[in-house]
Amino acid sequence: MGAPTVFRMTGWFKIASAIATILLAAAGGSLFFNGDAALYRGAGVALLVFGAIGFADTLLSRMVLDDDGIEIVSLVRRTRYSRDEFESAKVDGGIVVLKRRDGGWVKLPDTGRNSLAVRNTVHAWIRRGKSGDQKE
Encode pLDDT of 79-123 as tens digits. 999 999 999 999 988 899 999 999 899 999 988 888 899 999 999
The average pLDDT across 60-65 equals 94
Q: Which residues contact 69 (CB under 8 A, 6 or more apart)?
A: 80, 81, 82, 83, 85
* Confidence band for 1, pLDDT divided at 50, 70 and 90: low
The overall pTM is greater than 0.85: no
CA 24 from centroid of its chain's CA atoms: 21
What are the residue boundaries of the structural domains of the chain, listed by start? 9-60, 68-135
Share above pLDDT 90 across residues of the chain, in percent, rounded to a whole number:
71
Q: Which residues contact 36 (CB under 8 A, 6 or more apart)?
A: none
